[in-house]
Chain A
Amino acid sequence: MAKQISLLIVDDEESVRDSLYNWFIEDDYYVECAEDAKEALSIIETKNFDIIITDIKMPGMDGMEMHRRIRALNKKSIVIIMTAFATVDTAVQALKDGAFDYITKPFDPDELSHLIKNAAKQITLEQENLALKEKFTELENVDDIVGDSEPMKQVLKEVMSVAQSNSSVVITGESGTGKELIARAIHSNSPRKYFPLVSVHCGALSESLLESELFGHEKGAFTGAMYNRKGRFEMADGGTIFLDEIATISAKMQVELLRVLETKKFVRVGGNKEISSDFRVICATNRDLKSMVEKGTFREDLYYRLNVVNINVPPLRERPSDIPLLVNFFIKKYCVAMNKEPISIDEQALIRMKEFDYPGNVRELENMIERAIVIGDGKKIRLSDLPLAKDSVISGYESLEDLEKAHIIQILNKYGWNISQSAKALKVDRVTLYNKIKKFDLKQPE
């Protein structure tokens, strides 16, 4: 037994207390006794017991009343009621009041043994369950959302405040900004976190497929529907449904979706039975839903139903201070995934990364780091390992002189400061290149 189970025996008869005490002590339980409910309650106030075994008929407060008071104290103890005066009514009442079980004196040694073993098993399961829940919460927290910039702090603040409510949320932002991560953070910090988060990528499915995917289908509903299948709304019962790329759904699906959101009831494709599901909706889009409403391509009523709370995830170029954090986060992530020693990034490479405008946002940066780790030397990520577009890299320069200098550095680095090869690439002679190096005071990196 992993943990010693503690027991409190409450009975006014000394012989019963002694018998039970001796019986349980031999089974290696921690046992204490109380001769009446008053004494028991004063012990319980200061100590926690896993199991409380109490007689019903006792002078003063009876066992049933004591049980109610234990519950009022919000104690988690399992209570087993015992009495010599067994009636069905008392048994039913004891169970209704939340007693674990009811036993009539005298009982078979085997019956008592099994009862306590089952109670101990329940305690162990509850403890395991609690530990797993804690672990689950740790895994699903907001640590995956990396960013220390003001715009990201604001987003996280909104996530935490909206998580506790049941309102629909629309997450907007450019492609690759991490809208799904925000949806996960909302779900995992909400009271629905122990139920599923079901994601549907609306843009990837045709109208008929999306309908079957969302609502499920009955066997024979269409060619290939060989089995009954639960839809995503049904799967998300108790939890959250995340509808990505909501702007891509057809006008017909918009109507269907609106109806489901209003009633939380739907019918499977090919079925006739109405199914209820309790879910929360979180949507994401990289389009401007408001302008789509104005243009008449997105239903206004659906827009207002979905857009109770709007969270806008800023693009990466608006929060360059997050880039070093993200770079380090992804380096760690991919080094662990690829079973490599943690590596660092060259300062020059990091400067260039901070200058890049990332049209693909965090996803692009992530892919960049993954690629650099794969093709790099395994010690340091260098500029040459990064697929940074040339025009983007030098976009920060205004004067031709600065542009010329940056280009010469890039070419020299590319050819490992081999003057002949670099001059050939630049289509100038070696002397001109030497003069430029001198003019710009360029030095070969160590």
Chain B
Amino acid sequence: MHTISLIAYGQFDMEFLERIAAEIATELNYPVSLTQGHLDLSDFFDPNRRQYNGNELIKVVDAMAPPKASKVLGLFTVDLFIPILTYIFGQAFLNGRTGIASLHRLKNEYYGMKPNKFLLFERFKKEIIHELGHTLGLKHCYFPPCVMQSSTYVEDIDQKEPGFCLQCLGSIKNED
């Protein structure tokens, strides 16, 4: 049985995150805790790219994670990148303990559209489940509705469901 720890770094609406944590607990059927983390993000800021280095952040989140939690996900509001890619929605250690996810590019406002809280909630929930899926050993899935389908655009996230397909679910159950 895994225990999932969601750690919020930055200015989040905690009620929004609590609802997400509850739905993730239902979806994965693992206990999920939500805490507020403290980190000086300026150390991870790249002034040339005006973004935050996801590779460095994931290492720090991993190092600061509560020892009892078997899966840890750092939640951010800032724009994340990795050296090779222009941006990421999140990333995780495959079959590891830690992942990160950002709300920044999931907001409609980022794309010049009207805010949509429902859409933002669904997108962030899917992104968190997706990254947790990687920590549980799941690779990208080619079944379109599966949450493990790779998403490079925010519209791709909207197309998929917030849950695993039967095959991915089966892989997680076999690992348990």
Task: Give A28's nearest chain B residue, CB to CB.
Answer: B139
Q: Collect the chain A residues with CB atoms within 8 Å of residue B134's CB.
A: 26
The reply to whether B150 and A19 form a contact with Cβ atoms under 8 Å apart is: no
Q: Collect the chain A residues with CB atoms within 8 Å of residue B112's CB.
A: none
Task: Give A25's nearest chain B residue, CB to CB.
Answer: B94
The reply to whether B139 and A105 form a contact with Cβ atoms under 8 Å apart is: no
Cβ 8 A contact of B139, one of A16, A19, A25, A113 = A25
Task: Confirm or deny: B85 has a beta carbon within 8 angstroms of a beta carbon on chain A.
Answer: yes
Task: Confirm or deny: B172 has a beta carbon within 8 angstroms of a beta carbon on chain A.
Answer: no
A15–B150 Cα gap in the complex (Å)? Answer: 21
Task: Confirm or deny: B153 has a beta carbon within 8 angstroms of a beta carbon on chain A.
Answer: yes
The reply to whether B150 and A16 form a contact with Cβ atoms under 8 Å apart is: no
Encoded as 1 (CB less than 8 Å from any B CB) or 0, chain A from 28 to 40 comes to 1000000000000
Cβ 8 A contact of A107, one of B84, B88, B91, B139 = B84
A27–B139 Cα gap in the complex (Å)? Answer: 6
A67–B48 Cα gap in the complex (Å)? Answer: 31
The reply to whether B85 and A107 form a contact with Cβ atoms under 8 Å apart is: yes
Cβ 8 A contact of B153, one of A16, A27, A106, A110 = A110
Encoded as 1 (CB less than 8 Å from any A CB) or 0, chain B from 144 to 160 comes to 00000010110000000
The reply to whether B94 and A26 form a contact with Cβ atoms under 8 Å apart is: yes
Q: Collect the chain A residues with CB atoms within 8 Å of residue B152's CB.
A: 108-110, 113
The reply to whether A22 and B94 form a contact with Cβ atoms under 8 Å apart is: yes
Cβ 8 A contact of A109, one of B49, B87, B93, B139 = B87
Cβ 8 A contact of B55, one of A18, A25, A105, A109 = A18
Task: Confirm or deny: B86 has a beta carbon within 8 angstroms of a beta carbon on chain A.
Answer: yes
Encoded as 1 (CB less than 8 Å from any A CB) or 0, chain B from 114 to 146 comes to 000000000000000000001000011010000
Task: Give A29's nearest chain B residue, CB to CB.
Answer: B139
Task: Give B54's nearest chain A residue, CB to CB.
Answer: A19
CB distance from A439 to the nearest CB of B (A): 86
The reply to whether B140 and A108 form a contact with Cβ atoms under 8 Å apart is: no
A324–B147 Cα gap in the complex (Å)? Answer: 67
Task: Confirm or deny: B78 has a beta carbon within 8 angstroms of a beta carbon on chain A.
Answer: no
A108–B134 Cα gap in the complex (Å)? Answer: 21
Task: Give B96's nearest chain A residue, CB to CB.
Answer: A22
Q: Collect the chain B residues with CB atoms within 8 Å of residue A1's CB.
A: 142
A23–B94 Cα gap in the complex (Å)? Answer: 10
Q: Collect the chain B residues with CB atoms within 8 Å of residue A146's CB.
A: none
CB distance from A383 to the nearest CB of B (A): 64
Q: Collect the chain A residues with CB atoms within 8 Å of residue B85's CB.
A: 19, 23, 106-109, 112
Task: Give B94's nearest chain A residue, CB to CB.
Answer: A25
Q: Collect the chain B residues with CB atoms within 8 Å of residue A388's CB.
A: none
Known: A26-B134, A27-B150. A19 touches B140 (CB 8 A): no
The reply to whether A16 and B86 form a contact with Cβ atoms under 8 Å apart is: no
A19–B56 Cα gap in the complex (Å)? Answer: 11
Task: Confirm or deny: B47 has a beta carbon within 8 angstroms of a beta carbon on chain A.
Answer: no
Which residue among B84, B87, B88 has the maximum number of chain A CB atoms within 10 Å of its CB? B84
Within 8 A of B (CB), among A90-115: 105-110, 112-113
The reply to whether B86 and A19 form a contact with Cβ atoms under 8 Å apart is: no
Task: Confirm or deny: B165 has a beta carbon within 8 angstroms of a beta carbon on chain A.
Answer: no
A105–B150 Cα gap in the complex (Å)? Answer: 21
A10–B27 Cα gap in the complex (Å)? Answer: 39
Task: Confirm or deny: B81 has a beta carbon within 8 angstroms of a beta carbon on chain A.
Answer: yes
The reply to whether B140 and A27 form a contact with Cβ atoms under 8 Å apart is: yes
Task: Confirm or deny: B67 has a beta carbon within 8 angstroms of a beta carbon on chain A.
Answer: no
Cβ 8 A contact of A20, one of B49, B84, B94 = B84
Known: A25-B94, A26-B134, A113-B152. A106 touches B139 (CB 8 A): no
A112–B88 Cα gap in the complex (Å)? Answer: 13
Within 8 A of A (CB), among B72-88: 81-88
CB distance from B108 to the nearest CB of A (A): 19
Task: Give B53's nearest chain A residue, CB to CB.
Answer: A15
CB distance from A402 to the nearest CB of B (A): 79
A353–B146 Cα gap in the complex (Å)? Answer: 70
Cβ 8 A contact of B150, one of A13, A108, A113 = A113
Which residue among B86, B93, B142 has the maximum number of chain A CB atoms within 10 Å of its CB? B86
A106–B93 Cα gap in the complex (Å)? Answer: 21
Q: Collect the chain B residues with CB atoms within 8 Å of residue A16's CB.
A: 83-84
* Given A23-B85, A26-B134, 5 further pairs, Cβ under 8 A: A20-B84, A25-B139, A26-B139, A108-B86, A110-B153
A-B contact pairs, 9 of them (CB 8 A): A15-B55, A15-B82, A19-B85, A22-B91, A26-B150, A28-B140, A105-B83, A106-B81, A108-B152
Q: Show the binding face of A for B, using Cβ within 8 Å.
A: 1, 13, 15-16, 18-20, 22-23, 25-28, 105-110, 112-113
Q: A-B pairs with the 9 shortest C-beta distances?
A: A110-B152, A109-B152, A19-B82, A19-B84, A28-B139, A15-B83, A27-B140, A106-B86, A108-B86
